Structure 1
Amino acid sequence: MLDFPNAKINLGLYITEKRPDGFHNLQSCFYPVRWTDALEILPSEQEAFDMTGLPVPGNPETNLCLKAYKLLQQDFSLPPVHMHLHKVIPMGAGLGGGSADAAFTLRILNKLFELNLGGDVLENYARQLGSDCAFFVQNKPVIATERGDVFSPVELSLSGYSCVVVYPGIHITTAEAYGSIKPETPTCDMAMLLKQEVKVWREVLKNDFEAALFPKYPELPQVKEKLYEAGAAYASMTGSGSAVYGLFKGEAPESLLFPDHYTVWKGLL
């Protein structure tokens, strides 16, 4: 069975407090975009996992796809499978690609072996794999709180907008990003902010990581400014970086160019 785990962007991201377990509570709107990896899972005589596309650092045996399979295998008699992941979404970019791969593994296994697990149950499995993994089970816009794994519905459609995501090749680890952040209680209601016109978001919708990371990586504010100069209604870093995206009403301009070593994705929302 073949599926295409997609990325997400953060519309606003506020780090509200540090938790006793060492993680942080946050508030953000997660919004899916169509930049995808490819994941195929087939029944096999023996367990196998391989990857193509972008190189993934670390031991393949610790990949989140395998962890998701092992997690379900603890509760169900799953036969061996052959998993192939073709990696396209860059890592360390704040796009949630690895989390999407894990969640889609759960979704595919659920269908492939007719486990009949509902969305809430799959989300609970996904929460054991990573803070934002659960989002990709339902894969629709939500306001995320706590560790990024507690969701509230939000009526928000960016239909008619295109998105340009720019990854400048800077890998920012979660530890690095959170190590330079100072949690603060937000003074705004995110659901109310999102009801305003997209062009107003520039003044009111913030990503807390920008203040910490932009001075360290000047390429990031340069990308953001270039997106605004090209006519973006809203631009922001996503997640804990380093990808920066712009939202354009209608099609994004074809003249928007970046250095060759940058990775750029453009698509409709």
Structure 2
Amino acid sequence: MEMGPINPACSITIKNLDKHTMVVFPNAKINIGLHITQKRSDGYHNVESCFYPIDWTDALEIAPSERLTCTISGMEVPGNVMDNLCIRAYHLLRADYNLPPIDLHLLKAIPIGAGLGGGSADATFTLKALNKLEQLNLSEEALIQYARQLGSDCAFFVKNKPVFSFHKGDEFEPMDLSLKGRWIAVINPGIHISTAEAYAGIRPRRPACDLRDILKTPIQEWKDQVINDFEAPLARKHPTIAQIKAQLYEAGALYASMTGSGSTVYGFFENETNFYSSFVNYNSWYGIMK
């Protein structure tokens, strides 16, 4: 179980250990509302959601090396380590710039495939760190274009601020939404949900109300209006999701929801709440929103 206060390092901090080595802290995100609006002719879906950064972080160290190497500790990451998104991000920049080889080490704490965007954050923070470390002087817009090539939500982590996401989840519109001072609990029950399983219970439709308008209302009014379309069908198949959400509301949550395509559930609270014993068997994180 991963539980404790927020990382003392800001989620977008880039820390130089020396002029050749850098450590960054890629942070997770949550979806506040998620609507599947249309099946596209290319096989993808159009979606609408609010992406909001949270301070559950991985740690990524980049150091000079005689050859390209990558190691991962913490949570297990499946697949060939040299095929992960961080290495793909390195190769993407190396194709356009004469980057030297690096030693990349990822300390993985954000659960994988959990609707938290951890892998996308790792990839984008690799781009941002290399940009600073190698003094490439790439603008945010240039970094966004590179990030888009790595995954649909990767570009979000360039600016790392609340946005309204639309189209394939790769187009963003800034949102004037602040949850600063609210406490958040994020509970991951470790249920693996594939993309195919998540979409199997979905019938694309336009939402009755614009999510951007709903999120302007007080958070206490979100409960029955801010909906994740994936949640209901997946909660019927995996009752643990509904159980966690119910426990968060019982503990006093102002609003609770599943994020992404599951299975992680989060809740916002007015104050820090001592409910941790309810989730000792799950990978959990809590903190205060900034």
Give the alignment partner of residue 37 of structure 1, picking from 38, 53, 58. Answer: 58
- Asked if 1:264 is matched to 2:288, the reply is no
Please tell me whether the aligned partners of residues 14 and 28 of structure 1 are also in contact (alpha carbons under 8 angstroms): yes
- Asked if 1:196 is matched to 2:226, the reply is no
Distance 2:278 2:75 in 1: 20
Q: How many residues align?
A: 268
The residue that corresponds to 2:40 in the other structure is 19
- Asked if 1:144 is matched to 2:165, the reply is yes
**1:163 aligned partner, one-letter code:** I
Compare 169-178 and 242-251 and name the one that shifted more.
Answer: 169-178
Shift of 1:249: 1.0
Compare 184-193 and 9-18 and name the one that shifted more.
Answer: 184-193
1:82-123: per-residue Cα shift (whole Å, max 9, x none)? 100000000121000000001101000110101111111111
In structure 2, relative to structure 1, the CA distance for the partners of 1:57 and 1:230 (3 Å cut) is same
Shift of 1:148: 1.1
Distance 2:196 2:59 in 1: 27
**2:278 aligned partner, one-letter code:** F
The residue that corresponds to 2:89 in the other structure is 68
Distance 1:19 1:99 in 2: 23
- Report percent identity of matched pairs: 57
Please tell me whether the aligned partners of residues 142 and 154 of structure 1 are also in contact (alpha carbons under 8 angstroms): yes
SS at match of 1:61: helix
Give the alignment partner of residue 240 of structure 2, picking from 198, 212, 219. Answer: 219
TM-score (norm 1): 0.97
**1:261 aligned partner, one-letter code:** N
Shift of 1:263: 0.7
User: Which 5+ residue runs of structure 1 have no aligned equivalent?
Assistant: none
After superposition, residues 91-170 of structure 1 pair within 5 angstroms as 91-170=112-191
Distance 1:99 1:119 in 2: 16
User: Which 5+ residue runs of structure 2 have no aligned equivalent?
Assistant: 1-21
**1:109 aligned partner, one-letter code:** L
Distance 1:259 1:187 in 2: 34
SS at match of 2:87: helix
Give the alignment partner of residue 108 of structure 2, picking from 87, 105, 110. Answer: 87
TM-score (norm 2): 0.90
1:5-37: per-residue Cα shift (whole Å, max 9, x none)? 000011000011111222111000000000000
